[in-house]
């Protein structure tokens, strides 16, 4: 990360912290993903509206956490909008970090929390439509295999 | 961008008179104070000695006591504690409070590997130690007690004169960190009965780079550094003359003007506390509100995290501090290094909530307009973060 005079975060992080995109709850969401808890220092709730075709039409968040956690949440909702839910699982925390112009090393976990929130939301969605939650784990494992991880 | 600086515990803006006094010593007055045989060196020597008298006067030291100049408060605390332990070789026990500065806690933790033990005195929810606990912690092998006069994070002032009395009666050394209280409270080493006492320039409108250790006459301690004769052998190495001169001037100004600026600061602080108290029922103050530094406000807010709070204040031009884990060590390589303040956990603030903590510390330069601005933007900031927080459900 570049060292700047303004503070420890990139311009993108500051922008998403100052003007968070898609903040709030969705009424009757198709899925909710919740990770972390306030005693761990951060907590994120991701709300999704998913079409019958499996496209994420709306993604919003609520987050208790630091600047990096709020910016990661906000960026994640931006990246999710309009994607098919199976593609949503391809989103990695590194994508979020890159889009944010980098995060300090000690704050990488905030982007991991956002990636986990997507997984949790999709598990919730599968459960609601009567599918096995473990399908998400299977899909995630397959994506990782494809990437050679 | 204009801003309101309300993080004075991290360092005050140097007084212009201090800066003026320093300037020659970073340019034409470059003589080494150890070079006594020509005027250029001798003038530096005289300037350092004048500063020493000014520091001594601020803490009401006696003529036969010693003032040693160091580079910062951490060094003074290290010199006092390590220096005393090095002399009292057969005494292997120390007593501290659980809200001491890292320079004390980390030092003691390291000493354990050398066979030392220490007792950590608990504090109550106001942040005060119990004098009976202190009395019963003292053992025959106790070398010293190290207690801060006032705490920089929660502003609580200890009953340091009673602590001093107990230590004197038991014949035990007392080291007092008076960094947070110097220049705002009357410090009299004779009343406190301190064996050693630390004050720092950067907290009393002086420059960074100079601090002092007061050493009572008769207290023996060993230098941390091996080297020359400077500072009576207590602190080898060429002196930072400019910073020391500035420090001395800052002590002189503080002694003369405290009576004027402290009541003003306290009045503004009280308005800030009152205004914050009115704003939210989920904003809680930390540290005693009675025995409290006159420039200190510290609080935590439920449902929101401290770094977000701190960043929001910054964006509104208010430069303050947080004890949150998330903001603790932003340059760390690992999230494991993000640790909530031990002071806040000590006074019973749960770790998740320490997250939402803030410390605002005024200086003599803050104005009513500053306080009005802080009170105007705080509800906006808090409401925005509450709206964002899944923990908030009101």
A64 domain residue, yes or no = yes
Stated length of chain A: 149
A106 domain residue, yes or no = yes
Taking the Cβ of residue A41 and every Cβ of chain B, the question of whether any pair is shorter than 8 Å is answered with yes
CA distances in angstroms from B161 to B166, B193, B295, listed in the order given: 9, 7, 21
Of the candidates B326, B335, B352, the beta carbon closest to that of A39 is on B352
Residues 6+ apart with CB under 8 A from B181: B149, B150, B157, B187, B293
Of the candidates A8, A40, A64, the beta carbon closest to that of B390 is on A64
Question: Does residue B343 carry a pLDDT above 90?
Answer: no
Q: How far apart are CA B186 and CA A1, in angstroms?
A: 46
Residue-wise pLDDT tens digits, B36-53: 999 999 999 999 999 999
Q: Averaged over B72-78, what is the pLDDT?
A: 97
> Which is higher by pLDDT, A134 or B351?
A134
> Which is higher by pLDDT, B323 or B381?
B381
For chain A, the domain total comes to 1
How close is the nearest chain B Cα to the Cα of A102, in Å?
Answer: 13
HSE at residue B194, side-chain half, CA atoms within 13 A, is 30
Mutate to test the interface with A, among B302, B319, B325, B388 (most CBs of A within 10 A): B388
CA B104 to chain centre: 12
How close is the nearest chain A Cα to the Cα of B356, in Å?
Answer: 9
Interface of B with A in 364-393 (CB under 8 A): 387-391
Least confident of B60-64, B215-219, B329-333: B329-333
Taking the Cβ of residue A38 and every Cβ of chain B, the question of whether any pair is shorter than 8 Å is answered with yes
Contacts 24+ apart (CB under 8 A), B32-40: B32/B238, B33/B230, B33/B238, B33/B239, B33/B241, B34/B228, B34/B229, B34/B230, B34/B238
Domain of residue A16, CATH code: 3.90.1010.10
Predicted confidence at residue A42, as pLDDT, reads 84
The percentage of residues in chain B with a pLDDT greater than 90, rounded to a whole number, is 85
Q: Averaged over A7-23, what is the pLDDT?
A: 95
Chain A residue whose CA is closest to B1:
A6
List CB contacts (< 8 A) between B351 and chain A. 39, 41
Interface of A with B in 4-23 (CB under 8 A): 7-8, 17-18, 20, 23
A5 domain residue, yes or no = no
Predicted confidence at residue B141, as pLDDT, reads 97
Predicted confidence at residue B22, as pLDDT, reads 98
How close is the nearest chain B Cα to the Cα of A118, in Å?
Answer: 16
Structural domain of A88? 11-146
Taking the Cβ of residue A107 and every Cβ of chain B, the question of whether any pair is shorter than 8 Å is answered with yes
Residue-wise pLDDT tens digits, B262-306: 999 999 999 999 999 999 899 999 999 999 999 999 999 988 888
A18 domain residue, yes or no = yes
The partner residues of B244 in beta bridges, in order of sequence, read none
Predicted confidence at residue B392, as pLDDT, reads 87
Domains of chain B: 4-9+258-388 (3.90.1150.10), 15-254 (3.40.640.10)
Q: How far apart are CA B159 and CA B346, in angstroms?
A: 18
Mean pLDDT of chain B: 94
- For the question of residue B167 being annotated catalytic, the response is no
């Amino acid at each position: 990360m570049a060292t700047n005079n303004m503070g420890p975060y990139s311009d993108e992080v500051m922008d998403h912290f100052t003007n968070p995109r898609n903040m709030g709850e969705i009424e009757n969401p198709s899925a909710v993903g919740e990770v972390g808890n306030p005693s761990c220092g951060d907590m994120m709730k991701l709300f999704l509206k998913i079409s019958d075709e499996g496209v994420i039409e709306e993604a919003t968040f609520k987050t208790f956490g630091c600047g990096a956690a709020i910016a990661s949440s906000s960026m994640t909702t931006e990246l999710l909008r309009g994607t098919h839910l199976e593609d949503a699982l391809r989103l990695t925390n590194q994508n979020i970090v890159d889009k944010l112009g980098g995060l300090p090393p000690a704050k990488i976990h905030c982007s991991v929390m956002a990636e986990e929130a997507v997984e949790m939301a999709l598990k919730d969605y599968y459960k609601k439509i009567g599918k096995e939650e473990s399908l998400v784990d299977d899909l995630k494992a397959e994506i990782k295999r494809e990437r050679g991880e | 961008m204009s801003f309101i600086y309300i993080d004075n515990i991290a360092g005050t803006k140097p007084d212009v008179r201090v800066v003026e006094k320093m300037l020659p010593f970073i340019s034409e007055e470059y003589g080494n104070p150890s070079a006594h045989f020509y005027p250029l060196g001798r003038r530096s020597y005289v300037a350092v000695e004048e500063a020493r008298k000014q520091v001594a006067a601020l803490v009401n030291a006696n003529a036969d006591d010693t003032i040693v100049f160091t580079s910062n408060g951490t060094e003074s605390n290290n010199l006092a504690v390590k220096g005393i332990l090095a002399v009292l070789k057969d005494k292997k026990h120390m007593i501290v409070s659980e809200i001491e500065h890292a320079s004390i806690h980390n030092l003691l933790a390291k000493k354990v590997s050398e066979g030392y033990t220490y007792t950590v005195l608990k504090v109550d929810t106001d942040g005060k130690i119990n004098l009976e606990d202190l009395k019963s912690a003292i053992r025959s092998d106790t070398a010293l007690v190290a207690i801060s006069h006032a705490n920089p994070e929660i502003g609580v002032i200890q009953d340091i004169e009673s602590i001093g009395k107990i230590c004197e009666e038991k014949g035990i050394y007392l080291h007092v960190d008076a960094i947070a209280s110097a220049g705002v409270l009357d410090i009299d080493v004779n009343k406190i009965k301190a064996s050693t006492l630390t004050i720092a320039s950067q907290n009393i409108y002086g420059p960074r780079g100079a601090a002092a250790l007061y050493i009572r006459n008769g207290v023996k301690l060993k230098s941390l550094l091996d080297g020359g004769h400077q500072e009576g052998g207590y602190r080898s190495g060429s002196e930072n003359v400019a910073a020391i001169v500035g420090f001395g001037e800052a002590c002189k100004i503080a002694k003369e003007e405290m009576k004027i600026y402290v009541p003003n600061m306290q009045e503004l602080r009280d308005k800030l506390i009152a205004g914050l108290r009115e704003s939210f029922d989920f904003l809680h103050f930390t540290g005693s509100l009675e025995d409290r530094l006159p420039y200190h406000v510290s609080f935590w807010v439920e449902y929101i995290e401290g770094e977000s709070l701190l960043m929001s204040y910054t964006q509104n031009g208010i430069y303050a501090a947080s004890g949150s884990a998330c903001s603790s060590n932003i340059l760390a390589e690992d999230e494991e290094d993000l640790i909530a303040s031990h002071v806040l956990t000590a006074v019973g603030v749960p770790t998740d909530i320490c997250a939402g903590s803030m410390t605002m510390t005024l200086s003599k330069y803050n104005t009513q307009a500053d306080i009005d601005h802080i009170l105007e933007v705080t509800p906006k900031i808090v409401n925005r973060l509450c709206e964002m927080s899944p923990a908030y459900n009101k």
